[in-house]
Amino acid sequence: MSNTKDNTIVIDPVTRIEGHAKITIDLDEQNRVDDARIHVTQYRGFEKICEGRPYTEMPAMTARTCGICPVSHLIASSKACDAILAVRPPKGGRNLRRIINLAQIVQSHALNFFHLSSPDFVYGMDADKADRNIFKMMQTHPEMAKEGIKLRAFGQKIIEELGGKRIHPTWIVPGGVSHTITEQMKQNILDQIPEAMAIAQKALRFFKENLPKFEKEIETFGNYDSLFMGLVNKKGNLEHYDGTLRFMDAQGNILEDGIDPRFYKDYIGEAVEEDSFLKSPYFKPLGYSKGMYRVGPLARLNVADACGTPLADRELEEFKALGKGKPVSNSFYYHYARLIEIIYGIERIEELLGEKQTLDENVRAHAGVNRNQGVGCSEAPRGTLFHDYSVDNNGIITGVNLIIATGNNNLAMNAGVKQVAQNFVDGSNVTDGALNRVEAVIRCFDPCLSCSTHALGIVSSRIELRNAKKETIKVIDRR
């Protein structure tokens, strides 16, 4: 780390997030933090690449925007293709898609909690940088590290069992899924559920017990008013695969409900910032900046009336109480929400496997191009995901718009970074602990910048410190 003669701190790349990002911290004349922002520096121009290709390639193609949550893209993309075909996959296909989507959420949340974030919980934010990682965890808390790996493997094995390939399954296709699952596959998954559930519950207990250690962080970690957006099902409960959009304000008022994701453009505007490849979506009726909203686990639990599964609902009740009648607004609680969603995911997977139709022979609907536009929307681990395709009459892609979870959170993430920087970074004495907190707030959102930049890429970091004249006075690389 260099000294701060001038006054801008840049964190680039942000560590322990997926992708590439840079953080700038602008100081004022008095060396106090004036502003702080996250910039996504990787441009992948995915939407352009897709033009001219057949729509049938889109699921596999967009799954390549992300090595972490390919399944989420497969789901949203296949749903957009369903819309182009104007079909609804048979119940069996829908159930299987739901299961794989939940498995993806479980494994991704487990990765965030155990591998990326737990070092902060275990060692504290001010621990030596070299010690805040999963390798150190293996040494000091081998049991927890192992459980993390196991829980993640649970999700991955389901994906493998169903999709045949762990990283980029091509099993989810326009119209449904490409093949059925067998009784044996079902049993293999069911057999692993008790252990996965035990690990998830233990992690949640650990987290709750350790909460008092992080009082200051909780108060200041992206603790601000914002709207929340997420899918809910017909009952208004937690939903990750289908459903309609619900927008809620910081007081808990429902601003919009029952919105068919097809009409997302009427509710979501996308601003382009000159210094980042990540677009900044906002809730249109309130305009840019006021329309800042959050998505992802925290938002989903806030907007949902209930989870709809017994264990998760019990936890949800406790969780909601934190908001004291309002939505829970501390971004630190994203971690909490993630753990509850893991429990929900495991319960739901068990339920779905129990449904007779899940083993139906009929898992795919076939059709040709019946519409020239299709929107697919689902909840990815990090939040709501939109795929919007336009095709010509032959099914050749003429336009693509993707809104990725991390993109949805862009404005909120920036607000969080600024808040944390103002609270913890002292321009005249920049400590590693302070910078770690700045990164940690980003990790709350679990951003995956490589795909959000359409995919532009985050999550390793460089912090740039800039003076009042916006001159870079210090660059801190945190690889």
Partner 1 sequence: MIKQKVRVKTFQINGIDVTGRSDSTILEVAKEHDIHIPTLCYLEGLSCVGACRICLVEIKGSNKLIPACTGKIKEGMEVFTDTDRLHKHRKMILSMIFAERTHTCSVCVSNGHCELQDMSVELGMEHSQVPYLTNRFDIDASHERFVNDPNRCILCTRCVRVCDEVEGAHAWDLVDRGLDTRVIHDMDDPWVESESCTSCGKCVQVCPTGALSEKGVSATEMVKKKSLIVNLLEMRNRER
Residue 405 and residue 295: Cα distance in Å, rounded? 7
Residue 380 and residue 336: Cα distance in Å, rounded? 17
Residue 79 and residue 146: Cα distance in Å, rounded? 35
- Could you say whether residue 57 binds partner 1 (CB under 8 A)? yes
> For residue 50, what are its two tokens?
């897709």
Which of 5, 324, 366, 479 forms a contact with partner 1 (CB under 8 A)? 366
Buried-exposed string 136-169: b where 16+ CB fall within 10 A, e elsewhere: bbeeebeebbebbbbbbbbbbbbbebbbeeeebb
Residues paired with 10 in a beta bridge: 24, 463
Strands 21-27 and 8-13: antiparallel
Which of 61, 181, 380, 475 forms a contact with partner 1 (CB under 8 A)? 61
In Å, what is the CA distance from 418 to each residue of 8, 220, 226, 358, 454?
13, 10, 14, 47, 24
In Å, what is the CA distance from 477 to each residue of 2, 5, 55?
10, 17, 41
Residue 106 and residue 341: Cα distance in Å, rounded? 7
Q: Which is nearer to partner 1, 311 or 396 (CB)?
A: 396
- Could you say whether residue 376 binds partner 1 (CB under 8 A)? no
Between the two ends of the chain, the Cα-to-Cα distance in Å is 12
- Could you say whether residue 310 binds partner 1 (CB under 8 A)? no
Which of 5, 52, 143, 184 forms a contact with partner 1 (CB under 8 A)? 52
Q: Which is nearer to partner 1, 194 or 399 (CB)?
A: 399
- CB of 92 vs partner 1, minimal distance in Å: 18
Q: Which is nearer to partner 1, 390 or 422 (CB)?
A: 390
- CB of 158 vs partner 1, minimal distance in Å: 20
Q: Which is nearer to partner 1, 163 or 427 (CB)?
A: 163
Residue type at position 423: N
Contacts with partner 1 in 244-273 (CB under 8 A)?
none
CA Rg value for the chain: 21
- CB of 370 vs partner 1, minimal distance in Å: 12
- Is the backbone of residue 164 left (phi > 0), alpha (psi -120 to 50) or beta? left
- CB atoms < 10 A from the CB of 205, how many? 11
Which of 1, 35, 54, 249 forms a contact with partner 1 (CB under 8 A)? 54
- CB of 157 vs partner 1, minimal distance in Å: 21
Alpha-carbon torsion 202, 133, 412, 263, what sign? Answer: negative
Which of 32, 53, 284, 326 forms a contact with partner 1 (CB under 8 A)? 53
Which of 1, 35, 56, 357 forms a contact with partner 1 (CB under 8 A)? 56
- Could you say whether residue 373 binds partner 1 (CB under 8 A)? no
Q: Which is nearer to partner 1, 324 or 366 (CB)?
A: 366
- Of all residues in the chain, what percent are helix, strand and coil, respectively (each to 5)? 45, 20, 30
How many chain residues interact with partner 1 (CB under 8 A)?
19
- Could you say whether residue 178 binds partner 1 (CB under 8 A)? yes
- CB of 82 vs partner 1, minimal distance in Å: 12
Residue 359 and residue 79: Cα distance in Å, rounded? 21
> For residue 250, what are its two tokens?
């910081």
Residue 294 and residue 299: Cα distance in Å, rounded? 6
Q: Which is nearer to partner 1, 53 or 157 (CB)?
A: 53
- CB of 73 vs partner 1, minimal distance in Å: 12
Which of 129, 368, 428, 470 forms a contact with partner 1 (CB under 8 A)? 368
> For residue 362, what are its two tokens?
């009929």
Q: Which is nearer to partner 1, 159 or 292 (CB)?
A: 159
Q: Which is nearer to partner 1, 87 or 271 (CB)?
A: 87
Q: Which is nearer to partner 1, 19 or 59 (CB)?
A: 59
- Could you say whether residue 60 binds partner 1 (CB under 8 A)? yes
Annotate each residue in 379-418 with x if it binds partner 1 (CB under 8 A) or - if it does not, as one string.
---------------xxx----------------------
Q: Which is nearer to partner 1, 174 or 297 (CB)?
A: 174
Contacts with partner 1 in 115-174 (CB under 8 A)?
168, 170, 173-174
- Could you say whether residue 285 binds partner 1 (CB under 8 A)? no
Which residue ranges make up the site for partner 1 (CB under 8 A)? 52-54, 56-57, 59-61, 64, 168, 170, 173-174, 178, 366, 368, 394-396
